[in-house]
Chain A
């Protein structure tokens, strides 16, 4: 269990916060490269760790490990975190949405039926943080260590247990937590890069989604049953 005593730290940008910088990956039981099979497609410039807005180091390590498991590096895309998805999730949790904007938050709070939807008093940011803590607690019970310190195939197994609701979380529902984690990962992978994920429009290139400006009146006839190939453009490209 020595790994757990080693703090998780990352390279940080800027002299003002450089004091916390030590080698990333320290304390990983498996080098990150061991998870990737084959060359990563369209690898962006090695991403610099970015300052965190909402997550702490432990939470961030969980998110990186989770998004890299949900979206592993392969010939189609770099890993989830290399696509910026951990950054995306951190920023979203720090946004008005993460703070509970547009959510009805008055009590009383009752569990209700699943068809009555989300009934917890927690904001999305609070829910994710509670979920990460519960997931790590469960991971320690099931595997003897935090989720981000598991080898790749155990991470897959652990996420499948959460997805199926088989992981026993004491507080929040494992299935609901996985659902939110999965949804945010997909948002980060496929949304416009201005939100921090989908770096270099990597997912749009993977799909063949052309992005902006999306004006096809002059093309729809010509491209009926013909693949339309275009270098995707994002909001920043038009700003």
Chain B
């Protein structure tokens, strides 16, 4: 028996970054908002304090803060002809759960897309010719330009208190910042973090090669900071427990620190935890979502929550699942290229790195923050000439450490055995003398990389799992080989005692080793309802009261960690809802 509840103005599915931002903006606009979170409450005071928060095994290895794969996971196959099998243990990517979502255990790298990333297809064809994009590479323009999104990038950076140095302030290029970035109206809210030894080495080497190093734009606050919501962040302690951990210092921006205390104090907002949204109740004729059905995971009881406005703020896979199971929009068919829901699933070409060892330098890798490296963008996006290279796109390249936690971080020179006396000797000898240079590559859409519903495997609520058909493609492999050469040259410029051979992404996509939790696409935004799932305001083409947040709206993935873009788009969409939609509910774009 489903219990039907009293209608509310708006319901938000998932209380991570986007759900928290939308709930906050909608309550400010006067709406009564119900927030549904499948997981538990999580607060810095109760969950992120010393000494328990420094438990490497519990958080980094046993994945305390991540989605429970026993209840929900996805299946994976490399191509449509194969049988997909469930990812039984999370590995390659680690979606969050509980209040705050992945926003509480990210590293804090907070980027804007390059202006050219915003209009990828037209940029590439304008620069290299209209026939250069292979037909199977289904990249598109993002329907919001850099200039349109700039004020909202700015707003999200101020919410997070991002630390960094501008490289392009209203068109003026500034040495020491990222000179390739689009023009910023404002400097970062906080100065950059204190550079580490590894960062110094990276900076010197990059400059010696004529590149343009800059400090990582970081949501690890370099100084105490009060954001426009009146929430105070502490200063980063460089504790080396960012990724996979909550922040003990309240210095890492998270929904839990930056926005939820204000939201939870607002009478117009009601948070329901252990409320897992099972399905959307879709009225196809009226092109509206009437309600969401959710299960109280403590009791199994099912509820229907009617709402005037529905915000999907779940992770990529659940956004797509809820659209597909409700029948909103046309499911993508890779054979015909028709339909949009599930289309253009993209990931990240990560795992390209080189390790450098210095007998005479002390790195102290444990004095680190999650977004603390020194980077170059000289090989990112279209910042370099791709003529004759055979691929498009690029990568940020970073030198530095994020931690010295020894279960995972204890580099040894190439050729060292994995165990025994020689391994131990090398481990002790090099622990404090090494770091990585890594590259995070973009991933451009491919016709046969997509999401749909698995015909066999089901989740704990009885719904089909999302089936991922995905592999790296020619563009990715060529990019990775190219990056391997660049990484090697940077490493050599550091004149290390020893260096590893650059690790280059080769072979098929593997769900086991961690790569990145930067899954994108599946509800892509676009200008045409035939080829996209949501319009430029993230409003579903086929349900005007449904707005879809997060990286599922990306048409393809840039090199950058997506949170900065995701946060900016949440504010952009909230602005459209509160200034346009609420005045005149209906489609905001007429196709």
| B42 within 8 A of partner (CB) | no
| A141 within 8 A of partner (CB) | no
> Are the CB atoms of A114 and B239 closer together than 8 Å?
no
* Cα–Cα distance between A217 and B236 once the two chains are bound (Å): 7
User: Which residues from chain B contact A115 at a C-beta distance below 8 Å?
Assistant: 78, 507-512
A67 vs chain B, min Cβ distance (A): 10
* Cα–Cα distance between A104 and B69 once the two chains are bound (Å): 5
Quick one: given A204-B406, A227-B364, are A238 and B51 in contact (CB under 8 Å)? yes
> Are the CB atoms of A216 and B367 closer together than 8 Å?
yes
* Cα–Cα distance between A210 and B240 once the two chains are bound (Å): 11
A213 closest partner in B (C-beta): B50
* Cα–Cα distance between A63 and B458 once the two chains are bound (Å): 36
Which residues A168-220 have CB closer than 8 A to chain B?
A: 182, 185-187, 190-192, 194-195, 203-204, 206-217, 219-220
Quick one: given A114-B510, A195-B57, A220-B194, are A214 and B240 in contact (CB under 8 Å)? yes
User: Which residues from chain B contact A195 at a C-beta distance below 8 Å?
Assistant: 57
A166 vs chain B, min Cβ distance (A): 15
> Are the CB atoms of B511 and A102 closer together than 8 Å?
no
User: Which residues from chain B contact A14 at a C-beta distance below 8 Å?
Assistant: none
| A58 within 8 A of partner (CB) | no
| A131 within 8 A of partner (CB) | no
Q: Which of A77, A156, A212 gathers most chain B CB within 10 Å?
A: A212
Report the stretch among A2-10, A18-26, A47-55, A68-76 that lies at the interface.
Answer: A68-76
User: Which residues from chain B contact A143 at a C-beta distance below 8 Å?
Assistant: none
B91 closest partner in A (C-beta): A117
> Are the CB atoms of B237 and A214 closer together than 8 Å?
yes
| B73 within 8 A of partner (CB) | yes
> Are the CB atoms of A102 and B70 closer together than 8 Å?
yes
* Cα–Cα distance between A219 and B238 once the two chains are bound (Å): 9
> Are the CB atoms of A214 and B241 closer together than 8 Å?
yes
- Bits for B512-534, please: 1 = Cβ < 8 Å to A, else 0: 10000000000000000000000
Report the stretch among B142-150, B305-313, B415-423 that lies at the interface.
Answer: B415-423
* Cα–Cα distance between A239 and B418 once the two chains are bound (Å): 34
* Cα–Cα distance between A124 and B241 once the two chains are bound (Å): 27
> Are the CB atoms of A101 and B70 closer together than 8 Å?
yes
* Cα–Cα distance between A115 and B87 once the two chains are bound (Å): 10
- Bits for B425-467, please: 1 = Cβ < 8 Å to A, else 0: 1011001100000000000000000000000111000000000
A80 closest partner in B (C-beta): B419
User: Which residues from chain A contact B77 at a C-beta distance below 8 Å?
Assistant: 116
A204 closest partner in B (C-beta): B406
Which residues B41-84 have CB closer than 8 A to chain A?
A: 50-52, 54-57, 61-63, 66, 68-70, 73, 76-78, 83
B242 vs chain A, min Cβ distance (A): 11
A50 vs chain B, min Cβ distance (A): 18
User: Which residues from chain A contact B405 at a C-beta distance below 8 Å?
Assistant: 209
User: Which residues from chain A contact B456 at a C-beta distance below 8 Å?
Assistant: 108
Q: Which of B83, B196, B235, B366 contacts A214 (CB 8 A)?
A: B366
B522 vs chain A, min Cβ distance (A): 20
> Are the CB atoms of A104 and B86 closer together than 8 Å?
yes
User: Which residues from chain A contact B367 at a C-beta distance below 8 Å?
Assistant: 216, 219-220, 223, 228
User: Which residues from chain A contact B424 at a C-beta distance below 8 Å?
Assistant: 71-72, 74, 76-77, 206
Q: Which of B241, B366, B421, B507 contacts A74 (CB 8 A)?
A: B421
B512 closest partner in A (C-beta): A117
| B85 within 8 A of partner (CB) | yes
User: Which residues from chain A contact B200 at a C-beta distance below 8 Å?
Assistant: 224-225
* Cα–Cα distance between A191 and B66 once the two chains are bound (Å): 20
Total inter-chain residue pairs, C-beta < 8 Å: 184
- Bits for A89-133, please: 1 = Cβ < 8 Å to B, else 0: 000000001001111111010101111111100000000000000
> Are the CB atoms of A186 and B364 closer together than 8 Å?
no
- Bits for B278-300, please: 1 = Cβ < 8 Å to A, else 0: 00000000000000000000000
| B1 within 8 A of partner (CB) | no
> Are the CB atoms of B196 and A112 closer together than 8 Å?
no
| B89 within 8 A of partner (CB) | yes
| B407 within 8 A of partner (CB) | yes
> Are the CB atoms of A220 and B86 closer together than 8 Å?
no
User: Which residues from chain A contact B83 at a C-beta distance below 8 Å?
Assistant: 110, 112
User: Which residues from chain B contact A206 at a C-beta distance below 8 Å?
Assistant: 424, 427-428
> Are the CB atoms of A117 and B511 closer together than 8 Å?
yes
Interface residues in B, total, Cβ within 8 A: 67
| B410 within 8 A of partner (CB) | yes
> Are the CB atoms of A214 and B88 closer together than 8 Å?
no
| B229 within 8 A of partner (CB) | no
User: Which residues from chain A contact B66 at a C-beta distance below 8 Å?
Assistant: 102
Quick one: given A102-B68, A210-B366, are A190 and B73 in contact (CB under 8 Å)? no
A57 vs chain B, min Cβ distance (A): 25
User: Which residues from chain B contact A69 at a C-beta distance below 8 Å?
Assistant: 419-420
* Cα–Cα distance between A207 and B412 once the two chains are bound (Å): 12
Quick one: given A117-B89, A238-B51, are A226 and B57 in contact (CB under 8 Å)? no
> Are the CB atoms of B88 and A104 closer together than 8 Å?
yes
A124 vs chain B, min Cβ distance (A): 9
B374 vs chain A, min Cβ distance (A): 13
| A163 within 8 A of partner (CB) | yes
User: Which residues from chain A contact B69 at a C-beta distance below 8 Å?
Assistant: 102-104
| B197 within 8 A of partner (CB) | yes
Quick one: given A102-B63, A187-B61, are A207 and B239 in contact (CB under 8 Å)? no
A124 closest partner in B (C-beta): B89
A111 vs chain B, min Cβ distance (A): 9
* Cα–Cα distance between A81 and B68 once the two chains are bound (Å): 32
* Cα–Cα distance between A100 and B406 once the two chains are bound (Å): 25
| A32 within 8 A of partner (CB) | no
Q: Which of A113, A185, A190, A191 contacts B410 (CB 8 A)?
A: A190
User: Which residues from chain B contact A77 at a C-beta distance below 8 Å?
Assistant: 424
A231 vs chain B, min Cβ distance (A): 14
B89 vs chain A, min Cβ distance (A): 5
A188 vs chain B, min Cβ distance (A): 9
A201 vs chain B, min Cβ distance (A): 11
> Are the CB atoms of A235 and B512 closer together than 8 Å?
no
> Are the CB atoms of A215 and B197 closer together than 8 Å?
no
> Are the CB atoms of A190 and B407 closer together than 8 Å?
yes
User: Which residues from chain B contact A97 at a C-beta distance below 8 Å?
Assistant: 62
Q: Which of A101, A112, A185, A228 gathers most chain B CB within 10 Å?
A: A112
* Cα–Cα distance between A228 and B457 once the two chains are bound (Å): 51
* Cα–Cα distance between A224 and B361 once the two chains are bound (Å): 9
A238 closest partner in B (C-beta): B51
User: Which residues from chain A contact B197 at a C-beta distance below 8 Å?
Assistant: 224-225
* Cα–Cα distance between A77 and B583 once the two chains are bound (Å): 70
* Cα–Cα distance between A209 and B409 once the two chains are bound (Å): 11
* Cα–Cα distance between A104 and B67 once the two chains are bound (Å): 11
Query: 5 pairs across A/B with beta carbons < 8 Å?
Result: A100-B70, A102-B66, A191-B61, A209-B405, A235-B55
List 15 additional A-B contacts (Cβ < 8 Å) besides A102-B70, A190-B410.
A77-B424, A106-B86, A117-B87, A118-B89, A119-B85, A187-B407, A206-B424, A207-B406, A214-B366, A215-B239, A215-B249, A216-B238, A216-B367, A220-B194, A225-B361
Lowest 10 CB-CB distances: which A-B pairs, in order? A238-B51, A214-B239, A191-B57, A115-B510, A190-B406, A70-B419, A216-B367, A215-B237, A216-B238, A207-B431
